[in-house]
Amino acid sequence: MFKTNKIFTKLFFSYISIICFSFLLFGFVLIYLFHINLYNNFEDTFHHYHEQVENQLQTSQQYTWTKEESTAAVLPMLFHKDFSIFIFDEDNNLSYSPVNVEAAMLTIDENLLDEAVAKRQVVSKGGMEDGALLYSLAAPIALNGSGDPNGVMVMIYHDLSHEYYQMMLMIVITFFITIVIAGIVIWVISRKITEPLRHMNRIALSYAKGDFSPLVKVTSKDEIGQLGTTFNYMADELNRLEETRKDFIANLSHDLRSPLTSIKGFLIAMLDGTIPCKKRDHYYLLMKDETERVIKLINDTLDMSQLEAGQIQIKKTSYNITKQLQMVVAKLEPQLLNKQLKINIQAVNGNITVFADRDRIEQALVNLLENAMQFSHSNGVINVLLQVQEKQRFNPYKR
């Protein structure tokens, strides 16, 4: 089998091999059927001339023709382009023979004559003699008007090689014409079949480089078309996952920057004496909380399986969100001092208890306050209103 790494070449040579094998099988079957039909036609022809010669001989006996007259009447039926006829008497002596016949034609096997007399039916024999393919048929024949067979008629077909050569030549010519036309058609079909695969291969290389924008052109609904649709779905999923990863990293960077900035601010304030010694324990606790938040964010980063599955576990607990907001403001104190801002918390309902994920809510509060700080002018005041609203049914499809 032809070894190659290209599916186009595999398809092309596989189809060509199948066509060649099928054509060879077709050729063998055709030659066999040609052989059967040819020899059936030989036998039919033999019966026809056997009857004609026998009737002519009976006529000559009926009208008491001389030997010369009988020979003149029978002779036109004895020699033909493709075969010759010989008449033997009961002693296997040649009685009638065609003119202009080569001496080799007279080399007739006497066993064939004896077999025809013994079986009293048509017998045949074929084979190569002196480099020529011959085929002989023999059957008893009545040489007189009595109707009883007293001789043997032998029909010898001349060299049959040209018949098979012509048949083989037609098969070979047909084979080459067919293989050329089929090769062109198979080439086009193979290119058409493998072109989507090559296209998907190029797109897959783009995906491997991180570019998920190219999409497969789906032009059919077969297996290749389904594969192209799967490729496009995979590209959408990879792109979505990549966007999620980028958003996650961006959010993580933002979330890490906030506690680290607070810790740095507290440390600087302690070093320059801004924070008095009696309040340092309070800020130590704040720094401890910020450090634990950093550790929690790092643990979330390491748990990439939740990110890839799109499922981040929410751990809900009941806690005081008013105190949480006050604690978040305290942690942002270094940034507030840097921008000379102030956050004013207005808790309409006093201490409010919520059932939620404390860490996720804190991330949201920090992001909201930092955004407010970013877009606020120096010496400004950020007002935060914290109040309880009536319970509403959550509608995920509402925008």
CATH number where 136 lies: 3.30.450.20
Residue 283 lies in a domain: no
Specify if 386 maps to a domain. yes
Q: With respect to residue 371, please indicate whether it lies within any of the assigned structural domains.
A: yes
Contact 117, 142 (CB under 8 A): no
DSSP assignment of 224-279, as one string?
HHHHHHHHHHHHHHHHHHHHHHHHHHHHHHHHHHHHHHHHHHHHHHHHTT-S-GGG
Q: Is 77 helix (H, G, I), strand (E, B) or coil?
A: helix
- The residue out of 169, 201, 224 marking a domain boundary is 169
In a domain, 165, yes or no: yes
pLDDT digits (tens, 9 = 90+) for 271-302: 887 888 888 888 888 888 888 878 777 776 66
The least confident of 91-100, 150-159, 233-242 is 91-100
285 lies in a domain?
no
Tell me whether residue 15 is in a domain. Answer: yes
What are the start-end ranges of the H helices in the chain? 7-62, 67-74, 110-119, 161-208, 223-271, 280-302, 304-309, 321-331, 333-339, 358-374
Q: What is the mean pLDDT of residues 104-108?
A: 57
Contact in structure between 205 and 53 (CB atoms under 8 Å): no
Any domain includes 131: yes
Last residue of a domain, one of 113, 138, 169: 169
Cα 3 to chain centroid distance, Å, stands at 18
Total domain count for the chain?
2
Return the CATH number at 380: 3.30.565.10
Banded model confidence at residue 102, pLDDT cuts 50, 70, 90: low
Write out pLDDT tens, residues 319-350: 888 888 888 888 787 778 877 888 888 877 77
In sequence order, which residues have a C-beta less than 8 Å from that of residue 373 and are 6 or more positions away? 332, 335, 336, 339, 341, 382
Percent of the chain exceeding pLDDT 90 equals 0
Residue 340 lies in a domain: yes
pLDDT at 202 over 60: yes
DSSP letter at 197 equals: H
Has residue 2 got a pLDDT over 80? no
Task: Taking the CA atoms of 111, 112, 113 and 117 in sequence, report the sign of the dihedral they define.
Answer: positive
Among the residue ranges 30-39, 87-96, 99-108, 116-125, the one predicted with the least confidence is 99-108
Range of the domain at 51: 7-169
User: Which of 120, 139, 169 corresponds to the end of one domain?
Assistant: 169
Q: How confident is the model at residue 226 (pLDDT cuts 50, 70, 90)?
A: confident
Beta carbons of 115 and 123 less than 8 angstroms apart: yes
Q: Do 151 and 90 form a contact (C-beta atoms < 8 A)?
A: yes
Residue 106 · residue 92 · CB < 8 Å = no
Question: How many other CB atoms are found less than 10 A from the CB of residue 197?
Answer: 13
Residues 266 and 252: beta-carbon distance below 8 Å: no
